[in-house]
Structure 1
Amino acid sequence: MALYGLYKRFASPTDPPDRAVSAAVQGLARALLEAPLAGVTDLIPAYASLYVEFDATRVSAQRVRAWLERGERVSPPPPSRTVELAVHYDGPDLASVAERTGLTVDEVVARHAGRAYYVYAVGFTPGLAFMGEVDPQLQLPRRPKPRGRVAAGSVAIAGAQTTVYPVASPGGWHLLGRTLEPVYDPHAREPLRLAAGDTVRFRPSPIPPHHTGLDERPLELLPEGPERPLLRVLEPGLLDLVVDAGRFWAGRYGFARSGPLDARSAALANRLVGNPPGAALLELNARGGLYEALAAGVLAFAGYGLRPLRNGEPMPPFTSFAVREGDRLAFAPTPRGCRGYLALAGGVESGRFLGSAAVDLKGRIGRALRAGDVLGTARSAPVRPGRSFVPHGEPGPDTTLRVLPGPQASGEALAALTAGAFTVVRADRMGVQLGGPPVPGGEVRSEGVPLGAVQVPPGGEPIVLLADRGTMGGYAKPAVLHPADLARAGQLRPGDRVRFRRLAGGA
């Protein structure tokens, strides 16, 4: 799979938000969803653009563009709704917003709650509604450096936009308060409360005595009693997750792709035990757990940063091997890379959400494994062990990533990206933050975000966005990774050095 993207833009990025333009974007998205094109994997409508992701191994960019043009017929909108949300205005940025705007705190609250807001789009995280327009006197640019974590339920503003953070996530908006009711609940029949085209009003409210915060329990995907139990978790690893190919066609709701960060190694592990490439398996991050075999079975491990041990004996990576009842499986760290994939012959039995078994930690879909969990196989698969694969190389401390010009490409930004070396400051499933020479960046109107985008906030520190990225965002994206290099980016760890090499083409 080679995922690329292109944009259809309906207005200039400098034009103010326009409800008619937004309605046209959403209408085209609905029309295209009624006549999907094989090979297209996602649509993300935004304020004035539609981002289309497609698999270049299945469909050409030319065919995708022709499909977009044939889809100019706009589907009628659903019935409009007005939603009222109770808000307690006690946010950490409330006082600073008052000071910067020359208003009192009470005036900030009155101006924010005194308007009806139109939902232009949904994205970034599940159910996060991009709403406008904020009172002109309250409009402030995003923070130059996003917060690492914003609590679920936070009500925030940035520029002419306002929103409610449905789940805990990073964010660079100014926090004014918190809602007293969820706008996203993965346990509900209708998980998302807000949709494009809705009108939203905020009602100031004190916190009632019984209010103890929003329910942030994850949706359980693993069955309590698998039909064919194979492994029991004795000790969890740092972050052991069930993943499959990922959650496609869900970006318009704000759901991340999820799935493996190193899809190449995941597919190899599955292939070694005869599974389809996208079968559910385990992603082990940095430090794997301790497992006990409950029955005889065949497993395979592929990836870097860890090496499997069966009863204390090292097993070769990229090889399938047998386990018997009572065997113990552990993982020893290795110097390079940080993620490996453990496949069970027959795949991991798991529930599905929007068609995928992949854990989405940010969206509270599934969770990391914990002691006592039992993993079973999805189907009986009698295969023989001993299949192996010799990888073409392994990660080193210096990595070169190929990039294509992104939607906000400029000669200055691309030159800064490709001129020097960067150091990995932080790496997780959302992305890789790099330190080094500053890169020109800044704010843009919120739009769909490609997988592998190199995002640059106003502070100038690039972030390579990976599988758990937000699906929409408002920071500049001067470059996008070549799809073949996503797996390499997924193996980066803090302290690694990164260089970028530019290729022709672009989003």
Structure 2
Amino acid sequence: MRRYAFETISLGDRAFAFRWSEPLPAALLAARAAAVSALGLPWLLESAAAGGTIAFYLKPSCSSIEDAAAELVRLWDGIREEAPAETRRVELPVVYGGEFGPDLGACASRAGMTEARFAELHSSAVYTVEMMGFAPGFPYLSGLDGRLEQPRRPNPRLRVPAGSVAVAGNRTGVYPNESPGGWQIIGRTAVPLFRPEEKEPFLLRPGDQVSFVPAAELSTTGEDEDKDMDKSPWAPANPALKVLKPGLLTTVQDAGRVGWRRYGVSVGGAMDDRAMRTANLLVGNDEEAAVLELTMIGGSYAVERDLLIAVCGADLSPQADGSPLPMNRPVFVAAGSELTFGKARFGCRAYVAVAGGIDAPAALGSRSADPRARIGGGSGGRALAAGDAIGAAAASPRSAALLDTLRARAEADGRLACLSAVSWQAADDARSAAWPDGEGFTLRVVPGEEWEEFTEASRERLLSAAYRVEASSDRMGLRLSGEPLIREGGSELVSHGVVPGTIQVPPDGNPIVLGAGCQPTGGYPKIAHVIGADWPLLAQAAPGCRLVFEAVTLREAEQAWKRKLREHALLKVGIGLRLAQAASEGGTK
């Protein structure tokens, strides 16, 4: 890649991007992003090309965007990438309008033409895959006729069917899976763009050419896709728990699916990474092992064999056979007992770690369930349902020793006790960060790239008013209500890299704070970013919770991340010492 002018932009405090001032071929950017990833830089988690930019995501051990960006700039001219992959041509049959294209009429009206003419112009062009993003295999296609350009919807739909062909700004694209989305839907194709079960999961790649062919009907229907979600879950060979009542939303989650952002795959993983890691450490697991994530209402589970577990995060009133189960500490639960979790008394998401880690097949390198991608969790991405079996791998020797001592303690009670626990516990970080009334959090933010495009009153409002978390919030993002935020200037944005904590503002002015399950790219303006050290608090902000935002500098955000790393290191060492003592001295220390 010859020398081109680019600028460095921050994506909060956990990622940054290079953006070029002149158009560059999509395949060339993708090749350069791959070459950077191949360098093995100690701070780089992954990189992804998107719309004239390459985003670079920091590993947890790295705390300084400025240092990472400066090193990459120094290395830049010496990086050599392989030649871009050969361009392919793909045709997609599309049924335009009607139930498959509910926005076609409005789009045609805005363009001053008939629906038939709009569809004719859309299908007569040859498009180029500029990048992948938003959803697994979602292609951002350049080459749209300027007469067909459309604004994004004022408020994103909560459900866009798989195969939907859509337009936003000067781009068109195809939704590979059912998902929320704010593009204008003009038609639908039955060709699957994301096939996770195949060796090559993605039909398209950056640089490919795509054309749409009008069709009279779909060759298949969405019924087949729905059946995929209902397929029998994986049957573990080592069952630990059986779902009796699944609660509101219970899924398997781990540290996430790294390395696939360039194809539009969400990193996902536990919403409250801190609670997940703490729960795993308490039972002697690798801190990134898979756990259960319980949301708002936890359900009930039959214990299939003696287990060592830990529950961290939200207080869902955990019990074993009716006896309160202490949180934030390792607990022995006996085979045949029943674990129950009620409604959240504090927070939103609880994490249940089992010694050995939840055992489910890995999909694209992670066990995490991704409902939008329909992968992971041992259930095709769906939430757990009644009757599902939950497996756990073999516990470490230290965990097994602690389980034995806690079991002996339960038996020594002179009755068939279903649980016993150590007397010490890890700190409850989310509760300590909550407001005194427990109904809200203060989240620190750094300005987003479009900060200055919002009115002064809107910027002041973001940093002074309380916003309410709406019931429509999910793992992708927290939808907030309050006084709308108004963007004064700026044109329709080309979709770009986003990260958890990004505060996007759709045209209706109601901000959305992206969560761990967010899409890799988005096109709504970014007014600010919640700093990485405060991401766990987003996970515990339940519907009705109030959020207040406090501005900090990037330097302060980096210092907060360093403190988080230091506190976690001390926690890890402290728990390790406690586990060793408890296993050797009877489990009470």
TM range (shorter): over 0.9
Partner of 1:367: 382
427, 430, 445: which is aligned to 1:390?
427
Give the whole-Å Cα distance in 1 for the aligned partners of 2:382 and 2:165.
Answer: 26
Partner of 1:48: 52
317, 327, 351: which is aligned to 2:337?
327
Partner of 1:15: none
195, 205, 211: which is aligned to 1:195?
205
Secondary structure at the counterpart of residue 292 of structure 1? strand
Give the whole-Å Cα distance in 2 for the aligned partners of 1:79 and 1:383.
Answer: 56
Partner of 1:501: 550
Partner of 2:272: 262
Partner of 1:405: 447
Answer yes or no: is the 8 Å Cα contact 2:137–2:203 preserved in 1: yes
Distance 1:138 1:499, change over 3 A: same
Answer yes or no: is the 8 Å Cα contact 1:273–1:383 preserved in 2: no
Letter in 2 for 1:139: E
Partner of 1:224: 235
1:160 aligns with 2:206: no
Answer yes or no: is the 8 Å Cα contact 1:435–1:462 preserved in 2: yes
Distance 1:111 1:213, change over 3 A: farther
1:101 aligns with 2:111: yes
Answer yes or no: is the 8 Å Cα contact 1:181–1:214 preserved in 2: no
Secondary structure at the counterpart of residue 270 of structure 1? helix
Partner of 2:40: 36
- More displaced 10-residue stretch of structure 1: 372-381 or 240-249: 372-381
**1:208 Cα deviation (Å)?**
5.2
Larger proportion of strand: 1
Secondary structure at the counterpart of residue 288 of structure 1? strand
Partner of 1:239: 249
Give the whole-Å Cα distance in 1 for the aligned partners of 2:218 and 2:15.
Answer: 46
Partner of 2:573: none
Answer yes or no: is the 8 Å Cα contact 1:298–1:383 preserved in 2: no
Give the whole-Å Cα distance in 2 for the aligned partners of 1:473 and 1:328.
Answer: 43
- More displaced 10-residue stretch of structure 1: 299-308 or 275-284: 299-308
Letter in 2 for 1:263: D
1:424 aligns with 2:484: no
Give the whole-Å Cα distance in 2 for the aligned partners of 1:209 and 1:79.
Answer: 29
Answer yes or no: is the 8 Å Cα contact 2:296–2:344 preserved in 1: no
Letter in 2 for 1:461: N
284, 290, 293: which is aligned to 2:300?
290
Partner of 1:87: 94
Larger proportion of helix: 2
Give the whole-Å Cα distance in 1 for the aligned partners of 2:279 and 2:225.
Answer: 36
Letter in 2 for 1:455: Q
Give the whole-Å Cα distance in 2 for the aligned partners of 1:186 and 1:34.
Answer: 24
Secondary structure at the counterpart of residue 295 of structure 1? coil
Answer yes or no: is the 8 Å Cα contact 2:37–2:46 preserved in 1: no
524, 528, 533: which is aligned to 1:475?
524
Give the whole-Å Cα distance in 2 for the aligned partners of 1:208 and 1:405.
Answer: 45
Q: Deviations over 1:102-124 (max 9, x none)?
A: 11111011000000001100001
Partner of 1:275: 285
1:181 aligns with 2:230: no
**1:214 Cα deviation (Å)?**
5.5
Give the whole-Å Cα distance in 2 for the aligned partners of 1:505 and 1:164.
Answer: 36
Alignment of 1:62-73 (within 5 A): 62-72=67-77, 73=80
Answer yes or no: is the 8 Å Cα contact 1:345–1:383 preserved in 2: no
Alignment of 1:433-448 (within 5 A): 433-441=479-487, 443-448=492-497
Give the whole-Å Cα distance in 2 for the aligned partners of 1:392 and 1:157.
Answer: 43
Partner of 1:78: 85
Partner of 1:172: 182
CA RMSD of aligned residues (A): 2.2
Letter in 2 for 1:66: E
- More displaced 10-residue stretch of structure 1: 69-78 or 267-276: 69-78
**1:213 Cα deviation (Å)?**
5.0
Distance 1:304 1:128, change over 3 A: same
Secondary structure at the counterpart of residue 35 of structure 2? helix
Give the whole-Å Cα distance in 2 for the aligned partners of 1:21 and 1:433.
Answer: 35
Q: Deviations over 1:215-270 (max 9, x none)?
A: 252598964132x3211111211111111111112111111111111111111111
1:343 aligns with 2:388: no
Answer yes or no: is the 8 Å Cα contact 2:299–2:342 preserved in 1: no
Give the whole-Å Cα distance in 1 for the aligned partners of 2:60 and 2:280.
Answer: 22
Give the whole-Å Cα distance in 1 for the aligned partners of 2:362 and 2:128.
Answer: 32
Letter in 2 for 1:290: S
Answer yes or no: is the 8 Å Cα contact 1:134–1:159 preserved in 2: no
Letter in 1 for 2:32: L
127, 131, 140: which is aligned to 2:150?
140
Distance 1:500 1:122, change over 3 A: same
Unaligned runs of 5+ in 2: 1-11, 376-380, 407-420, 558-589
1:358 aligns with 2:368: yes
**1:190 Cα deviation (Å)?**
1.5
Q: Deviations over 1:384-426 (max 9, x none)?
A: 2534223245142121100011222227354331021111123
1:379 aligns with 2:386: no
Give the whole-Å Cα distance in 2 for the aligned partners of 1:393 and 1:470.
Answer: 25
Unaligned runs of 5+ in 1: 13-17
Answer yes or no: is the 8 Å Cα contact 2:162–2:222 preserved in 1: no
Answer yes or no: is the 8 Å Cα contact 2:463–2:548 preserved in 1: yes
Letter in 2 for 1:486: W
306, 317, 327: which is aligned to 2:327?
317
121, 134, 140: which is aligned to 1:111?
121
Answer yes or no: is the 8 Å Cα contact 2:445–2:531 preserved in 1: yes
Answer yes or no: is the 8 Å Cα contact 2:313–2:428 preserved in 1: no
- More displaced 10-residue stretch of structure 1: 407-416 or 373-382: 407-416
Letter in 1 for 2:493: V
1:453 aligns with 2:490: no
Give the whole-Å Cα distance in 2 for the aligned partners of 1:339 and 1:392.
Answer: 13
Answer yes or no: is the 8 Å Cα contact 2:13–2:554 preserved in 1: no
Give the whole-Å Cα distance in 1 for the aligned partners of 2:184 and 2:359.
Answer: 42
**1:332 Cα deviation (Å)?**
2.2
Aligned residues: 499
**1:434 Cα deviation (Å)?**
0.8
Secondary structure at the counterpart of residue 337 of structure 1? strand
Letter in 2 for 1:370: A
Secondary structure at the counterpart of residue 489 of structure 1? helix
Letter in 1 for 2:484: P
